[in-house]
């Protein structure tokens, strides 16, 4: 189970991490890495994304300096960080087809699109989101939870209610999304919210190099 405090971007990356290892290095390698993660830290691969330095340590135990290339591959297979000067450096091209599909499907669903649009630039509590987006409570909560589980919505601060309860506020991990068709390929580019990049332990570790 992915924790709710996990960065939205890390949740997105975790979804493709095991696929990347399996695809490039085989099922057996993935198994060995998972076994070592559990043996050393008591966590699984998805949880290790949240605490990326632990995954980094385990990968270095196996691959030495080669771990850096492997980590870059994870990221490159999923997203491409745009490095052009004219564009905002936080623009990211989604390379992983399952992630691109996830984003397209979310924006294809009218309610989910409205939910995401409501929290593009400002964090809000769920009831407020549903009220602004004119979505009924029952289906609305289900759709919000689905967006949280998929990492497209991330917890960002909280409010204290009249009865003293803490209620989380949510924000989209993107500030903008563009969907283009280039040479018969759907290209999804997203402008990541600054805090999404700052909260992502994998991006922090990879970018520090």
Partner 1 sequence: MLHWKRNSDKPDIVPEKLQNSIDPRILLLILGIVATFQIYLYAVFPNPDDASQLVDVISVINPLIASVVGFIIAKKYWGSKVFGKAYLALAVGLTMNFLGESVYGIYETLGYDTSFGPMDILFYAFYPLVLIHLVLNIRFFKPKISHFTKSWVVAIPAAIIAIYSLLSFEKHGQANFEFYTGLVYVILSSIILSGTLLGARVFKQGVLGKAWLVLLIGIILLTTGDVWYSYLDTFDQYTLTHPMNLLYYAGYMVIIYALYKHQKII
Taking CB under 8 A as the binding criterion, the range among 3-11, 63-71, 130-138, 167-175 that sits at the site for partner 1 is: 63-71
Q: What angle do CA 203, 9, 153 make, to 5 degrees?
A: 155
Q: Are 130 and 144 in contact (CB under 8 A)?
A: yes
According to the binding rule CB under 8 A, does residue 85 interact with partner 1? no
Site string for partner 1, 23-52 (x = CB under 8 A): xxxxxxx--x---x--xx------------
| Distance separating alpha carbons of residues 200 and 50, to the nearest angstrom | 8
Smaller CB distance to partner 1: residue 39 or 163? 39
Our finding on whether 64 is near partner 1 (CB under 8 A) is yes
Residue given tokens 């990347």 in the structure block: 20
For helices 8-25 and 97-108, angle between their N-to-C axes, nearest 10 degrees: 140
The Cα-based distances of 167 to 97, 124, 156 in angstroms read: 34, 10, 11
Residue 69 binding partner 1, by CB under 8 A: yes
Decide if residue 61 touches partner 1 (CB under 8 A).
yes
Q: 60 or 113: whose CB is closer to partner 1?
A: 60
Decide whether 24 or 178 has the Cβ nearer to partner 1.
24
Does position 165 interact with partner 1 (CB under 8 A)? The reply is no
Rounded Cα–Cα distance for residues 102 and 90 (Å): 20
- Indicate the DSSP class of residue 6: S
Interface with partner 1 (CB under 8 A), residue from 51, 54, 62, 169: 62
Measured from the CB of residue 90, what is the shortest distance to partner 1 in angstroms?
A: 23
Q: Does residue number 164 form part of the binding site for partner 1 (CB under 8 A)?
A: no
Q: Where are the beta strands (DSSP E) in the chain?
A: 79-81, 91-94, 124-125, 153-160, 166-172, 174-182, 185-192
Report the SS3 class of residue 86: coil
Nearer to partner 1, 5 or 97 (CB): 97
Q: Which of 51, 54, 73, 81 binds partner 1 (CB under 8 A)?
A: 73
Query: Which of 43, 67, 81, 125 touches partner 1 by CB under 8 A?
Result: 67
* Chain contacts with partner 1 (rule: CB under 8 A): 22-29, 32, 36, 39-40, 60-70, 72-73
């Amino acid at each position: 189970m992915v924790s709710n405090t996990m960065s939205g971007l890390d949740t997105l990356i975790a979804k493709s991490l095991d696929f990347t290892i399996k695809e490039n290095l085989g099922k057996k390698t993935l198994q060995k890495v998972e076994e070592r993660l559990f043996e050393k830290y008591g966590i699984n691969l998805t949880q290790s994304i949240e605490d990326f330095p632990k995954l980094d340590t385990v990968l270095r135990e196996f691959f030495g300096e080669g771990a850096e290339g492997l980590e870059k591959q994870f990221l490159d297979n999923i997203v491409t960080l745009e490095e052009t000067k004219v564009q905002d450096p936080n623009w990211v091209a989604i390379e992983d087809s399952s992630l691109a599909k996830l984003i397209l499907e979310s924006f294809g669903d009218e309610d989910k699109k409205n939910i995401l649009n409501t929290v593009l630039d400002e964090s809000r509590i769920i009831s407020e989101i549903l009220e602004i987006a004119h979505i009924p409570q029952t289906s609305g909560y289900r759709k919000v939870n689905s967006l949280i589980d998929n990492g497209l919505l991330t917890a960002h601060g909280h409010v204290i209610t009249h009865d003293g309860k803490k209620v989380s506020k949510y924000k989209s991990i993107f500030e903008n999304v563009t969907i283009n068709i280039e040479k018969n390929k759907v290209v999804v580019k997203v402008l990541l919210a600054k805090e999404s990049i700052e909260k992502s332990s994998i991006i922090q570790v990879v970018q520090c190099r």
